Amino acid sequence: MPLSLNPSSLKRYYDLVRLFYKYGRGDLVRELPETDSIAPKADDAPPVPAKAEELARDLEALGPTFIKLGQLLSTRPEIIPPSYVPALERLQDDVKTFSFDEVQKIVSDEIGVRLSKAFLEFEAEPIGAASLSQVHRAVTRSGREVVVKVQRPGVREIVTDDLQALSEVAAFLEAKTAFGAQYQLSGMVEELRRSMMRELDYRVEAENMRVMAGHLSRFERVNVPEPLEDLSSGRVLTMQFVRGRKVTKHSPLIMQDVDGEGLADELFRCYLHQVLVAGFFHADPHPGNVFLTEEKTIALLDLGMVAHVGSRTQESLLKLLAAIADTDGDRVADIAEALGETTESYDRIAFRRQLSILVAEQAGASLAKLEIGRLLMDVQQIAAANGLRVPSELSLLGKTLLNLDRVGRTLCPTFDPNESIRRNIALVARERMHSSFSPSSLLAMALETKEVLQKVPARLGQILDLTANNQLRLKVDTIDEHLIVGTLQKIANRITLGLIIAALLIGAALLMRVDTSFRLWGYPGLAMIFFLAATAGAAALAWQILRHDRSQYGPGGNKR
């Protein structure tokens, strides 16, 4: 893709080149995982370097697109060193607010009436600000307490221009550098584009909230806010106000009155259901998006970032989580290989060795140091370092579980996420089995079976025609076709001779019941002849087998 000469694009090219030049020669590249390195355990993670904090500040200065890019990079441990991840995760905070006049104009334009007509009260001071929006408390005309999420003015145009520049630079780097080709930068930018376009349309987030509420209906202590459709649009989202605070903001005294372990376990079971049964999960459960309500329940906020998981990927992730929970390194490696796509540089021996060491170390980790989400991200890092591309869902699930680990331990310091997954994985597997036999899935199976059965007569007819015309051929690719055919013929001959011997024995047994004047050794003669023939044939067959094996193999059983 040729680079654009548009002035705004040129400025972004300059910003990107400056960013790559500043960080591409330093720790960011030197700390990238090498093929023979093992991803560090969570408890051995190095402190956040000053360069990482500086990178976070530079991304914030470049605007919302690059803030989201930093957040995306924090989920890609194969690209970003582990020590940089905490600084990039922080990019969701400390964003400047925009004026209340602009808020009034945007809300009025979007819902079609003045702010005072739509709301009884509307607080001018926002209660939160993010890279794409800010949030205000309000009260509707019906007296219902709500929060109103308002998109930043002009942010859609800024994001569109930034994404165009990023796409062009990524395509250039992918075509011209080994780094770009290895990490598929164009695909990463496209993933960022899809994510940001969905987040910029608040109608999508409102629909996510409605769908998620349906999936969470079976969980009594986990819920999401309800959107108000008549006061929402593409740039404004009005939703139910949740009375509560972030799980990290509650004092230890208050937490003593909370069933922390029960809440943490239900939250984990809820996410396992989302990922492995529903195939639709809240992909950003950092502590700022998880509220402990006044009713001592959990509320999940900000459903702008969700992820979808296909049925086959669900099956693989279910097996992978079970293998990790059982600390079975070989099975983890097998499943990761099946999930991933090998490249020319794939080093299978190194990948399996490093993964086995990682899982074995996890088996001996203490409860306080055990982070299954980090382990999933380490699996992806080791895979990328050895030339195995695994689906992006793996890293997104890893970051999701990593955030859940932290939320779980905030709710209950002694909570064991690994044990929770091991305990709940069987329940999730049963739910998957039940869901696989829904009316729609049974109908799909019936239609597939019908298609197969419809093709059987035609294919059987083709085989019979080929057989009748002596045109049926079996193509077998082997090292020595003649040896295979000869061996098969010998096997067939032995089987045939064995059947003849068996028939003679059965015939002899039946003839023993027929009394005749011709007798041998006091028994019916014909029966004894059959018996002697069978005995001679069996002896000859045994001698042939022993002589053949002795000629083919040495005394020790080794092939000559």
16 inside domain:
no
Residue 367 is predicted with a pLDDT of 45
The pTM score is 0.66
Beta bridge partners of 306: 282
Q: Distances in Å between the alpha carbon of 183 and those of 13, 75, 308, 312, 389?
A: 20, 14, 22, 24, 9
Residue 471 is predicted with a pLDDT of 74
146 inside domain:
no
Distance CA 292, CA 226 (A): 16
Residues 518 and 387 reside in one and the same domain: no
Residues 531 and 419 reside in one and the same domain: no
Q: Which residue has the tokens 């809440």?
A: 263
Distance CA 264, CA 247 (A): 11
- The more confident residue out of 149 and 490 is 149
Residue 109 is predicted with a pLDDT of 93
Instruction: Give the long-range contacts of residues 7-11, CB within 8 A, separation 24 or more.
Output: 8/161, 9/161, 9/164, 9/165, 9/168
What are the start-end ranges of the H helices in 292-328? 311-325
Beta-carbon contacts of 545 under 8 Å, excluding residues fewer than 6 positions away, are: 494
Tell me: pLDDT of 523 over 90: no
Q: Last residue of some domain: 401, 436, 471?
A: 436
DSSP letter at 329 equals H
Going by their DSSP bridges, the two strands 290-293 and 341-342 should be labelled as: unpaired
Tens digits of per-residue pLDDT, 289-345? 888 998 889 999 888 888 888 878 888 888 887 787 777 888 888 888 888 888 788
499 inside domain:
yes
Residues 264 and 400 reside in one and the same domain: yes
- Structural domain for 528, as ranges: 481-552
Q: Which helix (H) or strand (E) holds 396?
A: helix 392-411
Q: Which of 369, 359, 288 is nearest to 322 (CA)?
A: 359
pLDDT category at 44 given cuts 50, 70, 90 is: very low
What integer is the mean pLDDT of 392-396?
A: 75
Distance CA 139, CA 122 (A): 7
pLDDT category at 433 given cuts 50, 70, 90 is: low
Q: Last residue of some domain: 406, 436, 466?
A: 436
239 inside domain:
no
Residues 487 and 426 reside in one and the same domain: no
pLDDT category at 140 given cuts 50, 70, 90 is: very high
Tens digits of per-residue pLDDT, 197-208? 888 999 999 999
The whole-chain average pLDDT of the chain stands at 77
Tens digits of per-residue pLDDT, 228-247? 999 999 999 999 999 988 88
Residue 320 is predicted with a pLDDT of 82
Q: Last residue of some domain: 404, 436, 468?
A: 436
Q: Distances in Å between the alpha carbon of 433 and those of 275, 324, 484?
A: 15, 21, 43
Tell me: pLDDT of 110 over 80: yes
Residues 258 and 371 reside in one and the same domain: yes
Distance CA 186, CA 177 (A): 12
Residue 66 is predicted with a pLDDT of 83
Q: Which of 453, 433, 429 is nearest to 441 (CA)?
A: 433
Beta-carbon contacts of 285 under 8 Å, excluding residues fewer than 6 positions away, are: 271, 300, 400, 403, 404, 407
Residues 496 and 385 reside in one and the same domain: no
The count of structural domains within the chain is 2
Beta-carbon contacts of 244 under 8 Å, excluding residues fewer than 6 positions away, are: 291, 292, 293, 294, 299
